[in-house]
């Protein structure tokens, strides 16, 4: 293995590969950038774009996956073409921040197919969530379920008019 093939920091006690913060070189960054733009390309194509041969490229991709930097691959689907006409956000305030209340709330919403993102936040609420709804009636139904939840003290919804920028991944 060459020096450019290895990017993982030395192992430290109690530090597993998944929670280690690997050192990335220019080739690793090119690989990540290319995969963020097109996760379906072949290893041969990726290697060409990264400027290395396919075997070390595949080893690097596997290490990036094992380290948790690459969390998975998915299709970027069009919600509207699939019948989800409305995207909206909700700022949720809970009755308290006790762990039992937080756990109860997260358990409740984990099964809702309409929940696409849920972020615990500070300032102005406890959670920021992104939902998809089939239509306005469905959006109202989701909002009413949130309001009726025993842990919830406040719900503020914000409907998306148009998405102007939605970039995958992170800047590299």
pLDDT tens per residue across span 12-67: 444 444 556 679 999 999 999 999 999 999 999 999 999 999 999 999 999 999 99
Q: Which residues contact 67 (CB under 8 A, 6 or more apart)?
A: 8, 17, 18, 20, 22
* Predicted pLDDT at 124: 87
CA 98 to chain centre: 26
Whether 85 and 117 map to the same domain: the answer is yes
| Inside any domain, residue 36 | yes
| Inside any domain, residue 167 | no
Q: How many domains does the chain have?
A: 2
Q: How many CB atoms lie within 10 A of CB 120?
A: 12
For 129, left (φ over 0), alpha (ψ -120 to 50), or beta? beta
* Predicted pLDDT at 11: 39
The boundaries of the domain holding residue 134 are: 80-159
Whether 64 and 95 map to the same domain: the answer is no
Q: What is the CATH number of the domain that holds 31?
A: 1.10.10.10
Whether 62 and 118 map to the same domain: the answer is no
Tell me how long the chain is: 172
8, pLDDT greater than 50: no
Percent share of the chain, pLDDT over 90: 81
Mode of pairing for the β-strands spanning 152-159 and 127-133: unpaired
| Inside any domain, residue 169 | no
Average pLDDT over the chain, rounded to an integer: 89
| Inside any domain, residue 59 | yes
Beta-bridge partners for 159: 88
What mean pLDDT comes out for the span 107-135? 96
| Inside any domain, residue 63 | yes
* Predicted pLDDT at 20: 60
First vs last Cα of the chain: how many Å apart? 25
Distances (CA, A) of 97 to 38, 63, 115: 40, 38, 21
């Amino acid at each position: 293995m060459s020096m450019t093939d290895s990017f993982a920091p030395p192992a430290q006690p109690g530090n597993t590969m998944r929670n280690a913060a690997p050192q990335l070189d220019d080739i690793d960054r090119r690989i990540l950038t290319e995969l963020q733009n097109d996760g379906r390309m072949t290893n041969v194509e990726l290697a060409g774009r990264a400027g290395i041969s396919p075997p070390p490229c595949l080893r690097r991709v596997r290490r990036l996956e094992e380290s948790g930097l690459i969390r998975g691959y998915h299709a970027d689907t069009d919600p509207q073409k699939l019948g989800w006409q409305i995207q909206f956000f909700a700022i949720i305030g809970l009755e308290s921040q006790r762990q039992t209340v937080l756990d109860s709330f997260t358990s409740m919403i984990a099964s809702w197919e309409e929940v696409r993102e849920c972020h615990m936040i500070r300032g102005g609420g406890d959670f920021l969530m992104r939902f998809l709804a089939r239509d306005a009636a469905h959006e109202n139904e989701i909002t009413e379920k949130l309001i009726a939840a025993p842990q919830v003290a406040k719900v503020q919804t914000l409907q998306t008019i148009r998405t102007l920028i939605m970039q995958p991944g992170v800047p590299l």
